[in-house]
């Protein structure tokens, strides 16, 4: 697969893929006769996992730490598990924080909706009074 194919399938830009390769998050891809990178399709799962880590706020430094442990094989499974569990705890805290923010936003929006209903009721009453006066 060419870098454009990888970018299209993962949502990462070609620049990000090259950067991840340069810093060691991705293995160096072999080149074809024209000098273009050629990736094995199996790299997609790893790139998608890196995307999840990025989305959940893991730093590049921590991703590099995880990738380094992963490259060392089975002997590092416990360390990788601990690293991911720690990150999961941070993600859960962030989700709880966002849920609290969402509740505040919902309450504020409800307040505006209730204010609009009160305004509409006032307008309806005013119109009804005008109609009575005219009649």
* pLDDT 10s digits, 64-82: 999 999 999 999 999 999 9
pLDDT of residue 61: 97
The torsion defined by the Cα of 120, 125, 128 and 129, in degrees rounded to 10, comes to -140
pLDDT of residue 49: 97
Q: For the purposes of burial, counting CB atoms within 10 Å of the CB of 12, is it exposed (0-12), middle (13-18) or buried (19 or more)?
A: buried
Residue 112: pLDDT over 90 = no
Residue 5: pLDDT over 70 = yes
- What average pLDDT does range 94-99 have in this prediction? 97
Residue 126: pLDDT over 60 = no
pLDDT of residue 122: 66
- DSSP one-letter string for 93-133: HHHHHHHHHHHHHHHHHHHHHHHHHHHHHHHHHHHHHHHHH
pLDDT of residue 63: 98
- What average pLDDT does range 99-119 have in this prediction? 87
pLDDT of residue 114: 81
pLDDT of residue 119: 74
For residue range 6-65, what is the model confidence (pLDDT) as tens digits? 999 999 999 999 999 999 999 989 999 999 999 998 899 999 999 999 999 999 999 999
Is the domain spanning 1-71 CATH 1.10.1740.10? The answer is: no
Task: In whole angstroms, give the CA distance from residue 47 to residue 12.
Answer: 9
Residue 134: pLDDT over 60 = no
pLDDT of residue 116: 76
Task: In whole angstroms, give the CA distance from residue 123 to residue 117.
Answer: 10
């Amino acid at each position: 697969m060419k870098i454009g194919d990888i970018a299209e399938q993962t949502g990462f830009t070609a620049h990000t893929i090259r950067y991840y390769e340069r810093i060691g998050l991705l293995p160096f891809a072999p080149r074809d006769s024209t000098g273009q990178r050629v990736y094995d399709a199996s790299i997609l799962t790893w790139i998608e996992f890196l995307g999840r880590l990025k989305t959940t706020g893991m730093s590049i430094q921590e991703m590099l730490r995880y990738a380094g442990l992963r490259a060392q094989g089975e002997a590092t499974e416990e360390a990788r598990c601990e690293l991911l569990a720690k990150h999961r705890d941070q993600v859960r805290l962030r989700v709880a924080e966002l849920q609290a923010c969402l509740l505040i936003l919902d309450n504020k929006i409800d307040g505006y909706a209730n204010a609009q209903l009160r305004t509409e009721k006032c307008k309806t009453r005013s119109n009804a009074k005008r109609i009575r006066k005219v009649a």
